[in-house]
Structures are given as C-alpha cells and as structure tokens.
Amino acid sequence: GYTSEDPAPTQYDSVQRFAEWGFKISPLMVRAKSVEELVAHYHLIEAQRSSLGYDIDGVVYKIDQLELQRRWGFVTGEPRWAIAHKFPAEQAMTTVLRIDIQVGRTGTLAPVARLAPVTVGGVVVENVTLHNEDYIKGLDSNGQPIRDGYDVRIGDTVVIQRAGDVIPQIVSVVIDKRPPDAVPYEFPHKCPICGSPATREINEKTGKEDSRRRCTGELICPAQAVEGLRHFVSRGAMDIEGLGAENIDLFFNAGLIKTAADIFTLRDHRPAVTKALAERREEQARQREAASGKTRKNVRSVEERNY
C-alpha cells in the first residue's frame, strides 16, 4: 500500500507496527542475522507446514532495511531484495487398490488408480489419473521411460506427490515392495460401457499411434451418447434450431432423449419438456439471486407458470 512515511525504517518493525494498529500478523516472521539463521528458520517452518491450517509452498527471505529495498529495486519485475525458498513437493507412499477405466464423452478410455487413502499436503488423496496405456507401462508420449521404466500394477506401493494445488501424480513405484503375484496391468481392448472394440488411432500426419484408446461404439455407446446428440443437432449436421447443446444436456439428463430418434417424438412429451425447461429457468433465477443478493417478489411455483 501507500504511506506518507515509513511506519519504521525496517520491514520487520513496520509489520510490528501493523500489529499495534490491530492487524493480524504472522507469528512465523522473524529477523535473521545470518544465512544459517535463515535456513534454520526455513526448516522450522517446514516442520510445522502440515499443521499450519493453510497451504504454503515455501518462505521468502527479504532485506529488512526499507531504504535498501528501494535502492536495490527491481530487475525485470523481480525484486533484488527478496528471494523465495520453496519447500520440496509433499510426497506420500500408498498402495494401488484397483485400476478403473472411465469412458469420456468422446469415447476416450481414461484409466484411474484407486489408492488406499493417504494425506498429502493436507488433502486426502484416493484417486490418481494414469493418463493412458503407455503411462501405465512406464513410457511417456514419445516412448521414453518414466518412473525408471517401471509399470504400475495393482498391489504396487507407489510414491505420490502434490505440489500446491497441482493434481496428485505418481512419482515412482517402490519396486522392493511389489507383491510377488502382481501382474502387468492389461489395458482393456473393449469399452467397459458398451463392449465395442476400443482402438488406438493412427495419426495421419505423424504416422504415430495415439496414446489413448477410444471406444468405437459412438452413437451406441451411452458414454458418448450426449456428445453424439450434440453433434446431431449442431449446425454442421441437422442444424435443429432452438435445440442447442444446452438443451440436449437438459433433455438427456431428464431422460427425455436417449437416441437421436427421440428428438422427433419430443412433442409427445410436452408436459415433461415444459417442466424440465421451467426447472432450469428456476435454477438459473435462483443462481442469479444468490449471486446478486437480491430476492425476487411473488415467485410462482414451477407448475403455476406458463411458458
């Protein structure tokens, strides 16, 4: 902020003045007189990190004299009088209980490892993405080894890490703890939802196999149905006016449309369609109300309204 004069000649004393004025200050801030003291305090805070009640990713060392801060200034936006010392990403060890395959709206088979729950960085982690078939085998998208080339097997002990708000990931497999009966994971070649073959497409430009396996069921695959219906009504296909992606989602979730053919019999379900639309308008109005803090007057029930 801006002050007409410094509250004190140093940053430390200025912050102490803030406390006198009633501001809440961090009790972890200290004045250090040597590099050894700085590093000692870094380790002290690191030890308390998980019990602080808020997330931190490191500490910042600063020159205390405000006059020196001004004289040293900034270079390419970075202060020359302050430097961050980050903590290493928090890691934890746990076991892989199961590997589940989720089918996305575009038919991609996405493997997820279900883990024995473990706390990492103050958050309980139970799932971690395994990305694709090659990742499970221990290969990156260029066919280069990751995790020292070890595959992930059900029953394996793995080290996971989570840095800041980053999604948890598997760092390594603890190979010494691998159960003797653990077998390499066999990635399904069939869609677990509809049973259609799941294949890896060849990229026409690069000639390389895609790392993701996809369900070939398309319209017959319930996991892909919504995406297929969205395409069906879109401008490039049937171009059905007034029936955009939003309404498709709404009618699909309400059970009114399961296949493209159901679109043409929607008029036979007029009361249900009207109800679904009214409920969404009501929900939108409620959200606007919550966002603006204003309440509406004379709200009629969904059934009483005419649209």
Site residues (vs Zn ion, CB under 5 A)? 191, 193-194, 196, 215, 217, 221
Q: Would you say 153 or 213 has its CB closer to Zn ion?
A: 213
User: Nearer Cβ to Zn ion, position 147 or 214?
Assistant: 214
Whose structure tokens read 């004393």? 13
Nearer to Zn ion, 128 or 198 (CB): 198
C-beta of 196 vs 234, nearer to Zn ion: 196
Q: Cβ 136 to Zn ion, closest distance in Å?
A: 20
Full DSSP string of 25-49: --TT----SSHHHHHHHHHHHHHHG
The minimum distance between CB 186 and Zn ion, in angstroms, equals 18
Q: From CA 70, how far away is CA 76, in angstroms rounded?
A: 15
End-to-end CA distance of the chain: 53
Decide whether 170 or 191 has the Cβ nearer to Zn ion.
191
CB-nearer residue toward Zn ion: 152 or 193: 193
Q: Are 103 and 221 in contact (CB under 8 A)?
A: yes
Using CA atoms, how far apart are residues 159 and 174, in angstroms rounded to an integer?
Answer: 7
Shortest CB 193 distance to Zn ion, Å: 4
Smallest distance from Zn ion to CB 220, Å:
8
* Nearest residue to 101 (alpha-carbon basis) of 212, 208, 226: 212
Closest Cα to residue 40, out of 85, 81, 83?
85
Identify the three-state secondary structure at position 51.
helix
Least distance to Zn ion from the beta carbon of 107, Å?
6
Residues forming a β-bridge with 83: 61
Question: At which residue do the structure tokens 């004069």 appear?
Answer: 5
What's the closest the beta carbon of residue 190 comes to Zn ion, in angstroms?
8
